[in-house]
Amino acid sequence: MGSGGLEPGELLPPMRELAVRLGVNPNTVAAAYRTLRERGVIETDGRRGSRVRAKPVTTARELSRLDVPPGVRNLSDGNPDPALLPPLADVLAAAAARADRAPVLYGEAAEEPELVRLARADLAADGVPDGPVVVTSGALDAIERVLTAHLRPGDAVAVEDPGWRSVLDLVPALGFRAVPVGVDDDGPLPEDVRAALEAGARALIVTDRAQNPTGAAVGAARARALRAVLEEYPGTLLVEDDHGYRIVDLPLHPLAGATAHWALARSVAKAYGPDLRLAVLTGDSVTMDRVRGRQRLGPGWVSRLLQQAVAGLWADGAVDARTVSAGYGRRREALIDALARHGIEAQGRSGMNVWVPVPDETGAVARLLHAGWAVAPGARFRTNAPPGLRITVSTLGPEEIPAVADAVAAAVGPAPARRYV
């Protein structure tokens, strides 16, 4: 594979056959295949065997960071506005104010009781079914632990397309097959979800609000439609990502409970800062028991000091969700309106990103970079969806928005009609 002797999509020989051919123990070949799956080089499709991935994960991750030359305005990173995050001094003070006199030792509870109490209250207010709460090191850590708690290599996972690039890389890196599901402003398309589940997908990952990169948010009608589909396939593992918690003013319409095994993760990264590597995860008791059990065999727990800090920030109202969501909303809407005046249709219902369909994203990215604006190419976020650009608006000033729209218009021209399938 490294020499190019095997083409993307090419089927690999069965492990026993290859072991005979090479004169080695079958366990040696099995270990090699497992390593290649974990590195995202190959994918396994049950009895159909293993084949070379079309886009190895290592390549996708190497390309995930855009080099931004000095003097170029970076609108590609997906970061929150530092001005809307609580100051570090407040974070440290919140931890210090609630730190226990006695240190936490091995064998004690992994979850901070006050954090669990606050999280459970907010989840219940948003209509999320009751369930155990586990604390993980961010949303991606939570998603990985839930998937591996139920799935085996070769299982298919339905993912949003376009969708969060970390999930698009994580799924094959774990040895699973990603099945793309189209999205619109209301989230995953029910007919695509049904097709994926009918084809054998064992899990579905849904972003409830502030979908990355399109800003989609699951509305009430779409939630009902998706729940109806999931109820037809009760064995599906449902994973919901609510990283838009406290940065989005749209209500949550959870799908949790539509299947026997489900989980919903709330990360604090976007509202309180990415360096607070923490997410609260809830779900059915079997899933949470498996996640907690596996966590004990790895990191053990997320720092209780960190959990106390987050609990303090929540209790003190360190982030005003209405102010934050309004700030991002004004920037998104202003950019979408400015692009519309150029005849360019863009999407950004919630969150801190705007998605712009384009006929040629590579050329558009290059021309925008030459004009002094760095944006993220859509190839990082899509599988079958048409080309596009992701523009992070979190730090855009009102005086910059017309210039960005002018530059996008010059770089791409009028975009085709929007349909993300």
Examine the pLDDT at 169 and tell me if it is beyond 60: yes
Q: What per-residue confidence (pLDDT) applies to 26?
A: 81
- The fold adopted by the segment(s) 88-316 is Aspartate Aminotransferase; domain 2 (3.40.640)
CA distance 228 to 244: 24
CA distance 188 to 228: 13
pLDDT (mean) for 76-96: 87
CA distance 88 to 93: 8
Determine the 3-state secondary structure of 279 from DSSP: strand
- Bridge pairing between strands 133-136 and 279-283: antiparallel
Examine the pLDDT at 79 and tell me if it is beyond 80: yes
Q: What per-residue confidence (pLDDT) applies to 66?
A: 64
Nearest alpha-carbon partner for 284 in 157, 133, 136: 133
CA distance 404 to 398: 10
Give the model's confidence band at 345: pLDDT under 50 very low, under 70 low, under 90 confident, else very high. very high
- Residue 184 near residue 421, CB atoms below 8 Å: no
Q: What per-residue confidence (pLDDT) applies to 42?
A: 78
DSSP letter string, 119-154:
HHHHHHHTTPPP--EEEESSHHHHHHHHHHHH--TT
Percentage with pLDDT > 90 across the chain: 74
Place of tokens 């459970």: 120
Give the model's confidence band at 238: pLDDT under 50 very low, under 70 low, under 90 confident, else very high. very high
- Residue 271 near residue 112, CB atoms below 8 Å: no
Place of tokens 């293993």: 50
pLDDT (mean) for 394-416: 89
Q: What per-residue confidence (pLDDT) applies to 17?
A: 83
Percentage with pLDDT > 70 across the chain: 90
Examine the pLDDT at 155 and tell me if it is beyond 70: yes
- The ranges assigned to domains in the chain are 15-54, 65-84+321-412, 88-316
This prediction's pTM: 0.85
Q: What per-residue confidence (pLDDT) applies to 60?
A: 45
pLDDT (mean) for 267-279: 94
The first and second tokens of residue 412, run together, are 């791409």
Q: Which residues contact 290 (CB under 8 A, 6 or more apart)?
A: 149, 150
pLDDT tens, position by position, 350-392: 999 999 999 999 999 999 999 999 999 999 999 999 999 999 9
Examine the pLDDT at 55 and tell me if it is beyond 70: no
pLDDT tens, position by position, 186-209: 999 999 999 999 999 999 999 999
CATH of domain 65-84+321-412: 3.90.1150.10
pLDDT tens, position by position, 275-292: 999 999 999 999 999 999
Q: What per-residue confidence (pLDDT) applies to 9?
A: 75
pLDDT (mean) for 51-68: 58
Give the model's confidence band at 2: pLDDT under 50 very low, under 70 low, under 90 confident, else very high. low
Long-range CB contacts for residues 311-315, cutoff 8 Å, separation at least 24? 311/94, 311/98, 311/112, 311/114, 311/115, 311/118, 312/93, 312/94, 312/95, 312/97, 312/98, 313/86, 313/90, 313/91, 313/94, 313/268, 313/272, 314/115, 314/118, 315/114, 315/118
- Bridge pairing between strands 156-161 and 203-207: parallel
Q: 40-44, 264-268, 366-370, 406-410: which range is least confident on average?
A: 40-44
CA distance 224 to 220: 6
